[in-house]
Structure 1
Amino acid sequence: MKSPVRASVKTDIETCEIREFERPEIPPGAGLLKVECAGVGGSDPEMYRKPNTAPCIMGHENVGAVEELGEIAAKRWGLKKGDRIALHEYLPCWRCEWCLQGDFRLCMEADFFNVKDRFNTVRYGTCNADIAPHLWGGFAEYMYLAPNAVIHRVPDGMNARVATLAIPLGNGVQWAVLDGGAKFGSHVLVFGPGQQGLGCALAAKAAGAQTVIIAGLTRDRARLDVSLKLGADIAVNTEEEDLSKAVMKATGGRGVDVVVDTTGDPSGEIAEQAIALSAKGAWLSLNGLGQSAPIGEIKKRYLTVKAPRGHSYRAVESALKLAASGRWPVELLCSHDYGLEDVHKAVLATAGRHVDNAIHVTVSPWKKA
């Protein structure tokens, strides 16, 4: 008999425990992934403290090696046992208009904002672990590779912890470059030096931005320091410095061409700042669900406002290649690594609790305690 699969399962609000699951039989169109490493995403602390979302195997930034593979899946994905891959969290339908035109983020079966019952909708890292075959998250020894999974090959020799940056760096590529339009000569402002914001700074600089400014708070000091090694030209502690003066000095009073807010600030203050610091014709990516923006000012400045909505295949593939290029010390983002028994600590560290200077925290399921 095959050994059971060990997983860290969220059982209540900010509570988890190790449970064992039967290793599933793999049908011809699916596979099984031996998880090497799973990143703790910026949204995971929120998921961890939500009520009515247990039992759940969290972990949606997942990297591993193919352990088992059905014949149909092998042909469809072009994979074989032992190949190393990274996964999107999305499990799209692959038949709707959005999937067929390459934007599976907006598939009604994958779009987090449109599904009626998020917890019982199958998506890696956030769904009900009672749904067979149960292994829907990366905080486990193995994961089920569903027939509709979105898969990337991991570049040869890439460290597994670095490879888990595919999703947060992919968000940076998507929000700052593909959606935000950062390019050669651009002036870019990023709010928030977390894993997403640092990804935006890196992506913008890699795309040729002339000036990348990143804004954070006093508690973000270590992250702001790292940002200067990962694409940012100027790091501003907004509790000690005047952001407006810093931006206008850096841009000759013109303002920035691209703004990305990665903070999710509900107050609306960042939206107001973003507009005030923008040059005419700038692109703004505003992330706060509770924010509002003055249409009059947007019209006067001829601004384009978008909302960041996850990542495309192109963005994540670009992020993996960027990380593998060796041009940037992306390993600096990989701050803390925990074993399966310490998932609770890993998620709290990502939330900035009990651990100093955490940036991108990972869980290595096979790591010995």
Structure 2
Amino acid sequence: MTAQVGKTMRLKRVIDGTGVSVICALDHGMTSPAFLEPLADIHVRTSEAVAGGANVIMMSKGMIRVAAPAFSPTTSLALLLSASADPGGERPQIVQIAEVEEALRAGADAVVLFTALGGETEAGMVKILSAVGRECAVLGMPFIAEAEFPTTYASVEDLKQQYGFEYLRRNVRLCAELGADIVKTNWPGDRESFAKLVEATNGIPVVLAGGSRLEDVELLARMEQAMSVGAIGCSVGRNIFMHPSPEAITRALSRVIRERWSAEKAHAALLEETGSRGVNEVEVRETDEPKLDPAGAVLNVEACGICGTDARTFFNGDPGAPAPWVLGHEPVGTLEDVGPDADLPPGISKGDRVFLGSILTCGECRWCVDGFQNLCEHHLLYGYDPFPGAYSEHAAVPPIAMKNLIKLPPELPSDLATVADPFACALNGIEALDIRLGDTVVIVGSGPIGCWQAVMARDRGASRVYLTDVSAERLEIALRAVGHSVDHAFVAGEDNGVSEVMSLTGGTGPDRISVAAPSKEAQAAALIMAAKRARIVYFAGLPKHDPVSHLDMNQLHYKELAILGAYGATNRQYRITMGYLDRRQEELGRVVTHRFPLEGIAEAFETIRTGSGLKMVIVP
């Protein structure tokens, strides 16, 4: 009786008077494979989260001694009972390092245990989970079970692909069965799947884990969707304490959770509060010239393209581009200075005109060694943290990027050379498509990628090339650039172009389809319109907060279709691209529809927003 009253009283503080819980997890010193610098001052991080509206702070028994003064009278402590051994491994081992009784002595209102299933350690994990649930029932302590993927230091998309949705659902249910009072779990990819996780607890409250760093708008969108299907709040760590303004992002989450603001409204308020530049705002100003790294170089920038990734970051923000930040990852210029320890590629020297490939790779993993540098297990992107980009008169070339330098043909204009990055990516998609002589090809999406793929499809022997888009204006611009390579172009109707394609192909469908548009509808339509034994390449990715498409797998099965993805480009494809651009300058250069000085970069982004051009290039 007494224990149950104790648990009830403590839960009233963990789940506040509005029926929700905003938990800030500051316990990553126990779980992270590397030290996370913002946690160096745990007192300040706690103060920021509390000021932003967190009513629960999750941390270890060691750090609470330092952070306790930052707690308000209504802030609850959730004490972590577990740590991760070998946290950098594929499946870290969970070790219990504290007892429920210690949490009582520390004044905690809840205890937390990370739960990882599968592998040789599962039986021991279940025993620990069961013992903690039993002890919490005896001592009247609320139990928060973290029913998550075995490691939380990777993207949800990668983890879901590796372990599957059913791993999460089983974990959630097991935690509820063994005595959890609140279950914390990962975002499974979409609203409907999260609803199934909530349903699996059979009424035990569920909070959404923040996971790896996300764009603010994506984090808030996930939270809004989770709340709409029954979550009672969040448990967020890195997306709070690694944020440029931890208090402000906590407040934004609190507004979505407590006040049921939309993610869009909360994000707008966040931007207003932080005075964020870099999200729909741009500023051109004088800065110090980049310092020369002894193993790097400095580029005198002649031109830098605007990629779709740059545009998405400008419009929506990105955790890899903390404002104020210099974007730009398609630079061309002259090697103005080279460090004494720099390792330049063969044939390149100081003073040469070069292109810098954006995907920064380790050169050592299996994929790099096999020639698939675009799939490097440790890849980074130039123009994103920690490497500022090239919308500037001068740009630093970090040591990791030196091997990405490619010497330009003497007659290749700098503005056209900037498209080497997206053109090489388009080539990767075309190679995956494996066009044969006489094939009928449909390109869905008439942006720069779709335009170049239309040209390459014709070069590879396609008998018919059809180009489609949802925008008549964009399609018209595309045809002015590459119409000579296209047999027919049309605006997709309500059926996303299926009836038009079937009519054009006499009912048989195309042999090859490239979906070069980030559209679920286009992905689904491609399966329906495809000919038997056709090959489909999904070139464009979907938004990270909403990546799941509902596809008719019977089309795949009964028509023996092949569906492939294509991402980035390899070193070989970059080399091929440079020759391709040099030989076909006039033809391929038509896709570069706008050139802007550095001072006109805001206008360049606005041109992208309105869809009134194809490829934009900044010429400092």
Assess same fold via TM > 0.5: yes
Q: 1:264 aligns with which of 518, 536, 540?
A: 518
- Tell me the residue number matched to 1:142: 394
Whole-angstrom CA distance in 1 between matches of 2:339 and 2:437 = 45
Deviations 1:266-313 (A, max 9, x none): xx3212210111112211112333323222210111111122312222
- Which structure features the higher share of helix residues? 2
- Are the aligned partners of 2:433 and 2:514 in contact in 1 as well (CA < 8 Å)? yes
Task: Kindly provide the amino acid, as one letter, of the partner of residue 582 in structure 2.
Answer: A
Aligned pairs for 1:179-194 within 5 A:
179-194=432-447
- Are the aligned partners of 1:172 and 1:201 in contact in 2 as well (CA < 8 Å)? no
- Are the aligned partners of 1:183 and 1:204 in contact in 2 as well (CA < 8 Å)? no
- Seen in structure 2, the aligned counterparts of structure 1 residues 50 and 277 have a Cα distance that, compared at 3 Å, is same
For the residue of structure 1 that corresponds to 2:507, the secondary structure is coil
* 2:460 aligned with 1:210: no
Between 101-110 and 236-245, the greater mean CA deviation after superposition:
236-245
Task: Kindly provide the amino acid, as one letter, of the partner of residue 220 in structure 1.
Answer: R
* 2:598 aligned with 1:346: no
Count how many residue pairs are aligned between Structure 1 and Structure 2. Answer: 333
- Tell me the residue number matched to 1:101: 370
- Seen in structure 2, the aligned counterparts of structure 1 residues 20 and 242 have a Cα distance that, compared at 3 Å, is closer
Whole-angstrom CA distance in 2 between matches of 1:363 and 1:75 = 26
Question: 1:230: how far off?
Answer: 5.3
- Tell me the residue number matched to 2:298: 32
For the residue of structure 2 that corresponds to 1:213, the secondary structure is strand
Q: 1:247 aligns with which of 493, 501, 520?
A: 501
Question: 1:213: how far off?
Answer: 0.8
Aligned pairs for 1:63-212 within 5 A:
63-73=332-342, 75-110=344-379, 123-125=381-383, 127-128=384-385, 131=386, 136-149=388-401, 150-176=404-430, 178-212=431-465
For the residue of structure 2 that corresponds to 1:229, the secondary structure is helix
- Seen in structure 2, the aligned counterparts of structure 1 residues 192 and 242 have a Cα distance that, compared at 3 Å, is closer
Whole-angstrom CA distance in 1 between matches of 2:565 and 2:590 = 28
Between 213-222 and 236-245, the greater mean CA deviation after superposition:
236-245
- Are the aligned partners of 2:475 and 2:489 in contact in 1 as well (CA < 8 Å)? no
Question: 1:197: how far off?
Answer: 1.0
TM-score, with length taken from structure 2:
0.50
- Seen in structure 2, the aligned counterparts of structure 1 residues 88 and 75 have a Cα distance that, compared at 3 Å, is closer
- Are the aligned partners of 1:201 and 1:230 in contact in 2 as well (CA < 8 Å)? no
- Tell me the residue number matched to 2:569: 311
- Are the aligned partners of 2:498 and 2:529 in contact in 1 as well (CA < 8 Å)? yes
- Are the aligned partners of 2:496 and 2:525 in contact in 1 as well (CA < 8 Å)? no
- Seen in structure 2, the aligned counterparts of structure 1 residues 291 and 241 have a Cα distance that, compared at 3 Å, is closer
Q: Which runs of 5+ in 2 are unaligned?
A: 1-275
Question: 1:77: how far off?
Answer: 4.3
Question: 1:245: how far off?
Answer: 4.5
Q: 1:325 aligns with which of 583, 608, 611?
A: 583
Higher relative contact order (CA 8 A, sep 6+): 1
- Are the aligned partners of 1:42 and 1:195 in contact in 2 as well (CA < 8 Å)? no
Q: 2:551 aligns with which of 293, 301, 315?
A: 293
- Seen in structure 2, the aligned counterparts of structure 1 residues 153 and 75 have a Cα distance that, compared at 3 Å, is closer
TM-score, with length taken from structure 1:
0.83
* 2:531 aligned with 1:279: yes
Deviations 1:306-330 (A, max 9, x none): 2231222222322222221138611
Task: Kindly provide the amino acid, as one letter, of the partner of residue 548 in structure 2.
Answer: G
- Tell me the residue number matched to 2:480: 226
- Are the aligned partners of 2:465 and 2:485 in contact in 1 as well (CA < 8 Å)? yes
- Tell me the residue number matched to 2:141: none
Q: Equivalent pairs: percent with the same residue?
A: 24
Question: 1:210: how far off?
Answer: 1.5
- Are the aligned partners of 1:197 and 1:262 in contact in 2 as well (CA < 8 Å)? yes
Task: Kindly provide the amino acid, as one letter, of the partner of residue 617 in structure 2.
Answer: T
- Tell me the residue number matched to 2:307: 41
Whole-angstrom CA distance in 1 between matches of 2:296 and 2:585 = 36
Task: Kindly provide the amino acid, as one letter, of the partner of residue 200 in structure 1.
Answer: Q
Whole-angstrom CA distance in 2 between matches of 1:240 and 1:107 = 39
- Are the aligned partners of 1:30 and 1:146 in contact in 2 as well (CA < 8 Å)? yes
- Tell me the residue number matched to 1:16: 282
- Seen in structure 2, the aligned counterparts of structure 1 residues 274 and 240 have a Cα distance that, compared at 3 Å, is closer
* 2:504 aligned with 1:235: no
Whole-angstrom CA distance in 2 between matches of 1:307 and 1:139 = 30
Whole-angstrom CA distance in 1 between matches of 2:325 and 2:286 = 13
- Which structure features the higher share of strand residues? 1
Q: Which runs of 5+ in 1 are unaligned?
A: 1-9, 111-121
Task: Kindly provide the amino acid, as one letter, of the partner of residue 577 in structure 2.
Answer: A
